[in-house]
Structure 1
């Protein structure tokens, strides 16, 4: 993709939804609606008050339910958090899958689209507040560590698919390494240029620099000879 065309990305103005839920079988369902309300309330608490605020009683109070009604849908805090993070990453997968469907675009263009979408999402309050907290918690909480690793494995799938198309000459391990490097590089910008961070105002320039670098490294990368 010509670097001069980065500003004309098809998905540049798309915002990733906070959460994504499976289609409701049989149309309207009060039970599904309540589950979605619970998860939306849990995300609000996570963004505004942090992981420690995600007690079952506080989530119930936030969405106007009795604790018994909450535990009918989510028996434990761990079950609630697992469902919350699943809905969170599903929202990204919806947009990534949409990008991958545009097979009329060159893989370089699709890589730029995916990376651009992630980098723009970093500017949101949700992403800046939620993900660094999960990173810190994963150092001490095995349950959070497992959920975070699962989340990022799913998030890298779209990158892997495009990298494989761009560099079929490389091994599967090299594809994994490139996807991991690109993902980690983007996520690292959160603490510097995310929502209300010191370099938030430079994010346009950082985004352009990052996408150019990622395209280039995928094109020229060669593993060290053994």
Structure 2
């Protein structure tokens, strides 16, 4: 199906939640609420002020908690950041998994849905501010680098599943390379056409170019 027939499909009406938390397994409800409040406040700080603002004292202050109450829920800053990024990627996984369940659609349509969802999400303030910040930090902070690599590995799983369905003839490494290329190509648009970036107004056209290109390369890719 040509991309012109996909332009009004489901991803135009889907938005990724800021964070997604695991189902509650009983226990004290207020404790769950507090953890979720802490992580939501940490995300707000990350978006509005950057990673350097994510000190335990600053997060506690924003939440209206004493530092001892904060460390009861997250003993260290690293533990809090790990939980924050986990909740962030889980929000994407929920939407990706929903698209994979579109059994009335072809793999090509589902690939277009997932890529369209990601490209639409790039236009949000949250994504434009958070992810480039994490990329830069990963150059100097091994902990952040490891978390970011884990985040993108999880995000590529849905792409890999569809590529495997479309191209069972390819070796596993070739399918992984295609998924990595597609993911990297989409993320690279963030600094050019993301929220308040120079080419934000051209994002519809860039989105069309990207999805047409991804569909074509998956269909025709050959190792020479």
Asked if Structure 1 and Structure 2 have the same fold, meaning a TM-score greater than 0.5 normalized by the shorter chain, the answer is yes
Q: Does residue 196 of structure 1 match 2:181?
A: no
- Across the two proteins, how many residue pairs are aligned to each other? 224
**Deviation of 1:11 (Å):** 2.5
Q: In structure 2, how many angstroms separate the alpha carbons of the residues matched to 1:116 and 1:64?
A: 38
TM-score (norm 1): 0.97
Aligned position for 2:131 = 131
Matched position secondary structure for 2:13 = coil
Q: In structure 1, how many angstroms separate the alpha carbons of the residues matched to 2:115 and 2:28?
A: 35
Q: In structure 2, how many angstroms separate the alpha carbons of the residues matched to 1:3 and 1:182?
A: 16
Q: In structure 2, how many angstroms separate the alpha carbons of the residues matched to 1:27 and 1:15?
A: 30
**Deviation of 1:28 (Å):** 7.0
**Deviation of 1:26 (Å):** 3.0
Aligned position for 2:20 = 20
User: Is contact 1:122-1:190 (8 Å) kept?
Assistant: yes
**Deviation of 1:8 (Å):** 2.3
**Deviation of 1:121 (Å):** 0.2
Q: In structure 1, how many angstroms separate the alpha carbons of the residues matched to 2:221 and 2:56?
A: 48
Off by >3 Å, runs of 4+ in structure 1: none
Aligned position for 2:208 = 208
CA RMSD, Structure 1 to Structure 2 (Å): 0.9
Aligned position for 2:147 = 147
TM-score (norm 2): 0.98
Unmatched 5+ stretches in structure 1: none
Q: In structure 2, how many angstroms separate the alpha carbons of the residues matched to 1:150 and 1:132?
A: 16
Q: In structure 2, how many angstroms separate the alpha carbons of the residues matched to 1:146 and 1:18?
A: 21
**Deviation of 1:2 (Å):** 2.1
